[in-house]
Structure 1
Amino acid sequence: MAGKEPLVSEAVGRVLLTEVPEKGELPEKRKMSVFPTAHKRPSIAASFLGVLATRRLSMMKRMMPRIQDLRKESTGIQVHYEPTYRLEPKVTFSAAKAERILKDVVDERLEGLIYNAKATPSLIRYLCEEIKDRVKDLHYDRYKIVVNVTISQNTGQCILATSRCAWEPKYDTFASYSYSNKGIMCFASVYGVYTD
C-alpha cells in the first residue's frame, strides 16, 4: 500500500483517504467525511441555520404579493390623461336628491332605536358610509362627497349645528336632514364640493 497516491476531493481540497486501497482491502486510516451522514444527529449550528432558513422563507412568502404588485405596476401600461381645462361640472350636485337619500337612510336605520353610548360610534360610521355610497351611486363627476352625522341622546335639550365651508356657490352645495324620536336625536349632512 505504500507508494500509492492519496485521494483528494476536488470540491473541498481535503484528503479523504490516506491511501488508495487495493481491491477487497479496507483502508487502515480514514479521515472524517466532509459531507454530513444520515445517521448522525444534526448539530446545534445546523438546526439554528434551519430556523434562519425557514424564517427567511416565510418572510419571502409574505413579501411575494408585494413584489408581484410592484412588478405589475412597473410592467403595466400607464395611462396619462391630458388636462381638460374644464372649470365647471357637466351635471351639478342635486341637493334635493341628496336630501332624499339622507331621509331614507336615517329614517330606515334609526326608527325605534334607543340611545346606546357604546354602539353609537359604530352606528355613525355605518350611516356615513351608507349615505356616501348611495350619493356616489348618483355618479356626480369630479365631486368630492363629504358626509357628517351627529347622534345624541334625546333628553329634551336643544342642539344648534353650524358649518362653514370655502367653496364656489355656483357649483358646490349641501343637503341636511334632522331626525328625532323618544331616545335619539340625529343631524346628518352631505356636502358636494366640485374639484377642477
Structure 2
Amino acid sequence: MSDANVNTVSREASIDIPVPEKHHSKAYGSVRRSSIFPGFNPNMFAARMRRQSTRSSIPRNGYERRTIRYESTYQMEPDQNHKVDMDQLRRVASETLATALLSYRYDANRARKFSSNLAERIRNDIKQLSYTRYKIVVHVVVGQRKSQGVLVASRCLWDVTLDRHVTITKQTRNAYITVTIFLVYNE
C-alpha cells in the first residue's frame, strides 16, 4: 500500500513541475535598471509625479502658506510715476561701484566672488528704487589691467520704448570693472 502511494505522488509531482522555457536576457519593452539608484524605475517615478498635486492638501505646522493669485491688469506700459529715471539709476550704480572699489586690489582667485557680490549689491540697491514690473539684470566683468584692449558686448531681445540699460566702466591701478545693468519691462 505504501508503494501505491509513492507512485501516485511521483506521478503528481512530475505533472506539477513546469517545463523549463527559454528566457531572453531582456524582456521586450523593459526599462534598463540604473546601477546608481538600485530599484529606481523611471516609469513608476513619472506616474507618481503625475499623481502629485501642485498644492499641499495637508497643512503642516509653520509651513502654512496660501497661494495668492492676482488677476491680470492688462497693463502694457508703466505708469508715469514708475518710469525709469536713468540719471538716478546711473548715480546709484556708480555710488555702489565706487564704494566697492575703494580698497579693491585685483586677485585672479577672488575676482569671481568679487564680481558676483558686486552684482548682487548693485541689484539690491536698484530694487530699492522700486521700478515695478521691471526685471533687473546686472552683468559685471572684472579683469586685470595690463595695457590690453577689451570689448564687452551683449545681445538680447529688446523693446526700444520700454527697456533700458546702463553701462559703467571704472578702472583702478591694476583692474578694470565693467558693469552693465538691464531693466526689462515685464508686461
TM-score (norm 2): 0.63
Which residue of structure 2 lines up, in the alignment, with residue 80 of structure 1? 69
Question: What is the aligned counterpart of 1:163 among 140, 151, 154?
Answer: 154
| Preserved contact between residue 102 and residue 176 of structure 1 (Cα < 8 Å) | no
String of CA shifts for 1:110-129, please: whole Å, max 9, x gaps: 13422101111111111011
Which residue of structure 2 lines up, in the alignment, with residue 172 of structure 1? 163
Which residue of structure 1 lines up, in the alignment, with residue 34 of structure 2? none
| Structure 2: gaps of 5 or more residues | 1-58
Which residue of structure 1 lines up, in the alignment, with residue 90 of structure 2? 99
| Preserved contact between residue 135 and residue 186 of structure 2 (Cα < 8 Å) | yes
Q: Give the match's secondary structure for 2:140.
A: strand
Q: CA deviation at 1:80?
A: 2.8
Runs (4 or more) in structure 1 with deviation over 4 Å come to none
The one-letter amino acid paired with 2:76 is L
Q: Give the match's secondary structure for 1:124.
A: helix
Cα distance in 2 for residues equivalent to 1:189 and 1:96: 15
Which residue of structure 2 lines up, in the alignment, with residue 149 of structure 1? 140
Structure with the greater alpha carbon radius of gyration: 1
| Structure 1: gaps of 5 or more residues | 1-65
Cα distance in 2 for residues equivalent to 1:96 and 1:187: 18
String of CA shifts for 1:57-108, please: whole Å, max 9, x gaps: xxxxxxxxx94355x13xx4x4332110100011222222221122111111
Cα distance in 2 for residues equivalent to 1:127 and 1:158: 23
Greater CA deviation, 148-157 or 114-123? 114-123
Q: How many residues align?
A: 127
1:194 equivalent in alignment to 2:185: yes
Which residue of structure 1 lines up, in the alignment, with residue 61 of structure 2? 68
Coordinate RMSD, CA, aligned = 1.7
Which residue of structure 1 lines up, in the alignment, with residue 124 of structure 2? 133
Q: Give the match's secondary structure for 1:93.
A: coil
| Preserved contact between residue 113 and residue 183 of structure 1 (Cα < 8 Å) | no
Q: CA deviation at 1:167?
A: 1.7
Cα distance in 1 for residues equivalent to 2:68 and 2:176: 48
Percent identical pairs in the alignment equals 26
